[in-house]
Amino acid sequence: MKYKGFAYIYTIGCQMNVYDSEKLLSVLKSIGYEETEVLDKADIVVCNTCTIRHKAQEKAYSFLGRLSKLKKKKPHLISVIAGCVAQQDGEKALKRLPGIDIVLGTQSFSRFAQLVEQVKGGRSNIVDIESKETIFEVMPDSSCNSKNEISRFVTIMQGCENFCTYCVVPYVRGKEKSRKPEAIIQEIELLAEYGIKEVTLLGQNVNSYGIKENDISFAKLLKKVNAVSSITRIRFATSHPKDLSDELIYALRDLEKVCCHLHLPVQSGSDRILKRMNRGYTKASYLKKIAKLKKECPKIAISTDLITGFPSETREDFDETLNLMKEVEFDSVYAFSYSDRSITPAMKFDGKIEEEEKRARLNELFAFQDFYTDKNNKKLIGKIESVLVEGASKKRMKTVNDTVNQSEGEINNFNDTIQMMGRTESNKIVHFAGNNIEPGMILDLKIEQAYPHSLWGTM
């Protein structure tokens, strides 16, 4: 059945949530809805949620709570809470938000169109969090590139079975399941046909792709994606350190389209904390793999995830993390203070750290990392970098040739030249000046200046 109306999707959380929102939007388009970015215009609102931290969960409930005013003006409005919070809370979501029409768990996306039809038929307060072993498949169509994007996410697997003691993913995403390589390649070929130049392959742990299914390895999948014409760059996330194989390191080295950048979450530099987190590796084994990466791929940029204030983390444990950061010299770090999640083992751990101390350690960690980010950026000054153009810069950059202070910010005189931006293979943002430059072009730029979070280059 086809309906008329507008759909508004609000996404909270990780790259996989962005991908899932795109698929949910595709379902709504297939039954007649058009996308809108204006909330008041919507006839159906979907909040695709994240529960990795308490703040993200409350953000979702806060947004959905504000919908009550809109529903009074538009009684026909369909409201949907989807994703990880929906999967985790189920019926509890209705107790907090009685006006919600659909609670759509992560395992129920394939039934989304049917649930919308049921609401149209008069039902409400539908909860669907039933687990299924199949993977939700929706192939892209020409509308996927309506915003002239050059990069897209492609999920290659779902779920996780590592059961890190702080993490909700195994409980809200289910068991690990890999998509068939044929379906992945078909999706990427369609994206290439519609003008996409770069794909990022997603999974909770891409390194274990295909193992349960006794299918091809992740490195072999990368080789197949590398052969897709018109795709110029390949990225992937996330890699679990315990499963990083030599085969994958060699793929990073040898496959010309695979970007020389690896996100390898370490979470802590303390063996005691890593064991308590159930991470499955030690500081020494992690550093051994980093050494192998740098030997085989000398230009590789490495980023990581870190958690401060995990239960019982001492100052000595935290210093071990800083020491690891010093040894690796990460290009960038994504760090968060530990957040209790009710369904995880760590929730019951003793030795909880005060919020003030967790925040203090987090701020110290960021300040410590700034030195290495700046150091790695400055190494590129004078080098020629291949940059995939993404579009116009969102803000103006000051350059050495400007008469204003030498830092990032507004520029007074740019001689009517358009300022553009793109990314290097190592995932560093580069701003540059140039007219008649189109998104998707790959340019060789000379890096002239390095800033804390970006570079400046010239053609």
Q: What is the pLDDT of residues 162-216, one digit of tens each?
A: 999 999 999 999 999 999 999 999 999 999 999 999 999 999 999 999 999 988 9
pLDDT for the residue 53: 87
**Averaged over 304-313, what is the pLDDT?**
98
Confidence band (pLDDT; 50, 70, 90) for 409? Answer: very low
Beta strand 5-11 with 33-35: parallel, antiparallel or unpaired? parallel
Q: How far is CA 333 from CA 53, 159, 404, 436, in A?
A: 18, 24, 31, 35
Is pLDDT larger for residue 424 or for residue 401? 424
Least confident of 46-50, 122-126, 426-430: 122-126
140 burial level (CB within 10 Å; 0-12, 13-18, 19+): buried
**Averaged over 442-456, what is the pLDDT?**
96
424 contacts 386 by C-beta, under 8 angstroms: yes
Confidence band (pLDDT; 50, 70, 90) for 269? Answer: very high
> Each residue of 203-260: pLDDT tens digit?
999 999 999 998 899 999 999 999 999 999 999 999 999 999 999 999 999 999 999 9
433 contacts 457 by C-beta, under 8 angstroms: no
pLDDT for the residue 311: 98
**Is residue 336's pLDDT more than 80?**
yes
**Is residue 399's pLDDT more than 70?**
no
Mean residue pLDDT of the chain comes to 92
pLDDT for the residue 237: 95
Residue from 415, 446, 414 nearest 430 by CA: 446
Q: How far apart are CA 207 and CA 245, in angstroms?
A: 8
**Is residue 414's pLDDT more than 60?**
no
